[in-house]
Structure 1
Amino acid sequence: MAPRASLGVDGPIGTFAWYGCDNDWLCIFEHANFAGRKLQFSDEYWHDLDEWGFKDKTSSWVNNQDGGWTGCSGSDSGTLGDGAGDNRNMGACSASGNLGSYNDRAEDIYG
């Protein structure tokens, strides 16, 4: 689903981006503090990050699903998996600029 926006004189406005992650998307970033290469997801199934050359490269994330016009409902979380059963929850309408000991361990993502 594309982000909701309205057109202004100078282009799109009101896309509700948060740390570079548009409304209705779950985004992961290659570097801490939402920097570097970004992948974004909105499908509710497991994705193999190796398909995008992103295995063991996630250092920060933003879950901007369920936000937007009416605010956060808090009902659309996501999950990072390391392939060995150690998963990290990414709560709806939340973000982490640093994954600490989970840095560069994610092999798949749900959300």
Structure 2
Amino acid sequence: MNISQLLEALKDTPVNLSVGEKLIAGFSVTVLSMVVVFIVLVLIAWLISLLQKEKEKEKETVETKENTSAEKEDIGELVSVITAAICAATGNSSNNIVVRKIVRSNNSKSSWQSMKKN
């Protein structure tokens, strides 16, 4: 009896099969189902990795777009904040104040952190 005949014989439960034939049929069903599950798991892993690559590409494009637009917005916002701070400190209007250049300092500490503790 070949495997396909054994599997056909297993469909009907009252069939008289020897113990060896039942073991071979059970083993073949087990191996067949394990192979199917393994193939499905490999396909799922492949799909997940494909989706992750797509998501990383989207993130890179979005980040580059956000960085360029965020830098432009931050500079305008920074200029307005600095101008407002100067106006508040001097008591003058912002009409005669012009911010020409903004340079970031190399200090990694803020002014509060760099103050000495007594």
TMscore range, shorter length: under 0.3
Higher Rg of the two aligned structures: 2
Question: What TM-score does the superposition give when structure 2 sets the normalisation length?
Answer: 0.18
Work out which structure has the larger RCO, using CA pairs closer than 8 Å and 6 or more positions apart in sequence: 1
More strand per residue: 1
TM-score by length of 1: 0.19
